[in-house]
Amino acid sequence: MKKTITTFILIIMCLTPISLSYDTTSSYIWSTDMETSPVSSSITSNTNSNNSISTNETSNNISTSNTVETNSQIENNNSLNLESGAAVLIEQSTGQVLYSHNAHEQLRPASVTKVMSILLIMEQIDSGNLSYTDTVSCSENARSMGGSQIWLDPRETLTVDEMLKAICVVSANDCVVAMAEHIAGSEEAFVQMMNDKAKKLGMNDTTFKNCHGIDEDGHVTSAYDIALMSRELLTKHPSITKYTTIWMDTLRDGKSQLVNTNKLIKTYRGITGLKTGSTSLALYNLSASATRDDLSLIAVIMKAPSTKVRFAEAQKLLDYGFNKFSFKSFGNGGDVIQTVSVNKGVKNHVEAILENSAGTLIEKGKENQVTQTVEINDNIEAPIKKGDVIGKVVFSLDGSELSSTNLVASCDVDKITLFTMAKKIVYSWVDLLRS
């Protein structure tokens, strides 16, 4: 009996025409969960003859390009007439420099140093080596720091949560030293960690001598390097903003009042932080971050002549960025772009989806001039694994590429075999007889 059935299936296979692919002219679509339509109706679909597609590398979260057009003269001639010694404005997700004034001049950072200290603390927390509820004691060394402080007592302990609050809100030197000693065993060992991290981030203008920012010969950085470490903190550890956006709070059961040293927290719409710093030698410094309409900016001011100028010029930089640029999102990771044919697979097609969220920084007014090009291989063969690259989408402006992201398979497609082919034919005949 088995021999008869096998012979019957083979005869059907020989007589039945089998199509292993769909038409490749399927339409370009956005998934229905996108809030906005594509920025241009000009769409080009290109095909390649090979499975291998050359694509640009993209970040894990946002596919971006650092080719945004900016006026190079604006970056070099201090067109905003800033009084501060140095300044820089960057877009947070890409690191794109939007405005620069003496950005690589080595200057004293004062308490903006603590951005790096906070970054290392957050790395310890997010890696599981430290908990917000862990208690931290105060050494005599930490107690003796002076400057901005909450007057830690060696007989008391505070939680990591309380320490972070004091560091971010009132720039407590005693607390940051206590945390450094808790994490690394000594302030010196923690400072080595800071310098190692600075080197890893490409902070070539920076040498740290302490973790708090009190003036010390050789303790220097630049506006650009401050922007780099600020970006690392905000992008890798966004939960820090629950501390850096506090305006007023208390510690020690309400006995210690905290008021943020960053006055923009109270006055600037969309502010997310970040850190002030001032000494008699450094003058007035600030790393200010803000987000509006999906555009996140970081403005750094160094060596401002007064605290009033520091905040006013940081605001001027942020206003400049928000008025001139926007962040255009083209789609989210997982959005369906196109249905493509698959040869020799148990399925005849697979959905091509965005590997990552796609977006780019663009000058305002040019959003609707962006075109999108979809490149799909027309000879894709099974087996295919979920996440395999099967194409890419390129977003361009005036012929120049702004951003690109891979298109990947939404699911596995196994290769068809004699058994699966016979099974498919039998089911097709059954369906035909039922109809």
Closest CA to 276 of 172, 120, 417: 172
Closest CA to 394 of 351, 349, 342, 331: 331
- What's residue 76's pLDDT? 55
Q: Label each residue of 342-381 as H, E or C.
A: CECECCCEEEEEECCEEEEEEECCCHHHCEEEEEEECCCE
Choice among 111, 289, 357, 403 that is catalytic: 111
How far is it, in rounded angstroms, from Cα 394 to Cα 51? 18
Choice among 114, 165, 197, 328 that is catalytic: 114
Closest CA to 203 of 52, 118, 127, 95: 95
Is 303 in the active site? Answer: no
Q: What is the pLDDT of residues 332-347, one digit of tens each?
A: 999 999 899 888 888 8
Mean pLDDT calculated for residue range 321-327? 95
Choice among 63, 100, 171, 296 that is catalytic: 171
Mean pLDDT calculated for residue range 44-56? 32
% pLDDT > 70, the chain: 82
Is 111 in the active site? Answer: yes
Q: What is the pLDDT of residues 12-48, one digit of tens each?
A: 444 444 333 323 322 222 222 222 222 232 333 333 3
Would the pLDDT of 122 be above 80?
A: yes
- Judged by DSSP in three states, 330 sits in strand
DSSP code, position 26: P
Same fold, 12-65+330-424 and 84-304: no
- What's residue 35's pLDDT? 27
Q: Could you tell me whether strands 97-101 and 86-91 are parallel, antiparallel, or unpaired per DSSP bridges?
A: antiparallel
Assigned architecture for domain 12-65+330-424: Sandwich (2.60)
Mean pLDDT of the chain: 84
Is 328 in the active site? Answer: no
Q: Label each residue of 37-84 as H, E or C.
A: CCCCCCEEEEEECCCCCCCCCCCCCEECCCCCCCCHHHHHCCCCCCCC
**Distance linking the first and last C-alpha atoms of the chain:** 27
Domain ranges of the chain: 12-65+330-424, 84-304
b/e sequence 166-177, b meaning 16+ C-beta within 10 Å: bbbbbbbbbbbb
- What's residue 378's pLDDT? 75
Q: What is the pLDDT of residues 340-392, one digit of tens each?
A: 988 888 888 899 999 998 888 899 999 889 898 999 987 898 899 999 999 99
- What's residue 77's pLDDT? 66
Query: pTM here?
Result: 0.75
Q: What is the pLDDT of residues 272-305, one digit of tens each?
A: 999 999 999 999 999 999 999 999 999 999 999 9
Q: What is the pLDDT of residues 200-243, one digit of tens each?
A: 999 999 999 999 999 999 999 999 999 999 999 999 999 999 99
Does the structural domain 84-304 have CATH classification 3.40.710.10? yes
- What's residue 34's pLDDT? 25
DSSP code, position 36: S
Other Cβ atoms less than 10 A from the Cβ of 327: the count is: 21
Per mean pLDDT, which range of 9-13, 164-168, 180-184, 307-311 is the poorest? 9-13
